[in-house]
Amino acid sequence: METAIQRRLEQNDGESSSFTIFRVPAQVRHENRQHYEPRLVSIGPYYRGRDELRAMEQHKWRLLRHFLQRAATVPLSDFMRAMLLLDGCFILEFFFKLNCREPDALCDVGWGLPLLHSDLLLLENQIPFFVVETLFHAFFRGAVAQDMLVALLLLQLRPNGIVFPKLPSSCPAPAPTGKINHLLHLYHEGFVPKPHAPLATAPSRQEGASRRLPLVIPCVTMLREAGVRFVNKRSPRDMFDITFDSNKGVLELPPVAIDQASLPLLVNLVAFEQSRGHTGGAAAAPLTSYTVLLSSLVRTGDDVDELHRAGIVDNMLSNNDDAASGFFQRLGDCSTMNYDDHLFGALFAGVKRYHDASWHRHKARFLRDHCSNPWSVIALGLAVLAFVFSLFNQLVVIHSLIHHNG
């Protein structure tokens, strides 16, 4: 096992293309560091030795001992290899115990499991996936070992239904086909939906700035004043199945459930997408486009309230203002992207055109002022009847005068 890990480390040494565990940029993490730093367990080198995480180290050594009882290994002399062994065995033994429902202090504490899951899916709290693979192969032999490992991890990491749809136990997550760099990468490949919507293409240089995609769109309240209606999309294909009907002014969105615990997962998945650069275009960073869209739509508690009334947002935070500032705007603060190439570029353009058309605003204001309730409709109807009656009387008088003079 030591030889296998050492060989993989030497293969990756000095290859910039294989650098896979990134740090979140300082300007992004400055105001949101609590979403990127582990609270219970450190994995990898970045947070090793922190005082607030030392209590978990004894559990690591205990799970290492349990894992080595399953599969014989050799001691590692180097600190880095020892750290990889310790953290890799901790990850595997932790998921073994979860999968087999073995009694354990870590698995039996209700508040501990969500924190552990959250810490294991932080971008800066990772080790190379090949370390976990090598350790797993020491326990399971044969070509099937890789598939067994991925299936085990995806089973235990499956979403709880808050951010991503909850999969039934009889429906396994699709296994990724490419190389996996770490656990967060595996989660992204297994549970972040692959977008089906057509991607917006950036304008050519010759077309100039007049056709550039808008950087932002108005918030929900401003769009509503322009006549845009927000509708809960029934039976969406996935969370990215968001459409805008420019003829009817209807923006359909799948339901969004928000709680404070899901924010670290989202911002770390977005950070992971951005760490890969622009390789793959919008299709490789769908969550980044999604979070930019949500943070553009929701800026105040009134925006959250409007989406809640439409059945789109299920707010599990204390109030709508907290949802706006503590969730949606923090998502926006953690997202930077290429606005000329993103998943909802065409939707941004369509919504912006609809909002900027003065006819839609005048129509919406008229309907809001005169047709918002039955009494307004009755008053409008009576006013129209009075106008028609007055016009009819005037026509009768004019006709009589013409006939009399004739």
Closest CA to 86 of 153, 140, 5, 10: 5
Spans of all domains in the chain: 2-191, 208-362, 373-405
Closest CA to 88 of 32, 44, 23, 49: 44
Chain centroid to CA 182: how far? 19
* DSSP 8-state secondary structure symbol assigned to residue 12: H
What does each of the 406 residues of the chain score in pLDDT, given as a tens digit?
Answer: 555 555 555 555 555 445 567 778 776 766 678 888 888 888 888 888 888 888 888 888 888 878 777 765 545 555 567 788 889 999 999 998 888 887 777 776 666 788 888 999 999 999 999 999 988 887 776 656 678 899 899 988 988 766 776 665 556 667 777 889 999 999 999 999 888 754 444 444 344 444 566 678 999 999 998 889 999 998 898 899 999 999 999 999 999 988 888 889 999 999 999 888 766 667 788 999 999 999 999 999 999 999 999 999 998 887 888 888 888 888 887 777 777 778 898 899 999 999 888 666 655 565 565 555 665 656 666 677 777 778 777 877 776 777 666 5
Closest CA to 293 of 314, 266, 320: 266
So what's the pLDDT on residue 201? 40
Closest CA to 299 of 329, 277, 319, 326: 329
Whether pTM exceeds 0.75 = yes
CA distance 403 to 400: 5
DSSP output for 138-179:
HHS-STHHHHHHHHHHHHHH---SSSSPPPPTTSPPPPP-S-
So what's the pLDDT on residue 172? 64
So what's the pLDDT on residue 78? 59
CA distance 269 to 188: 7
So what's the pLDDT on residue 56? 85
Closest CA to 161 of 282, 274, 300, 254: 254
Please report which residue ranges of 192-261 form alpha helices under DSSP H.
Answer: 220-225
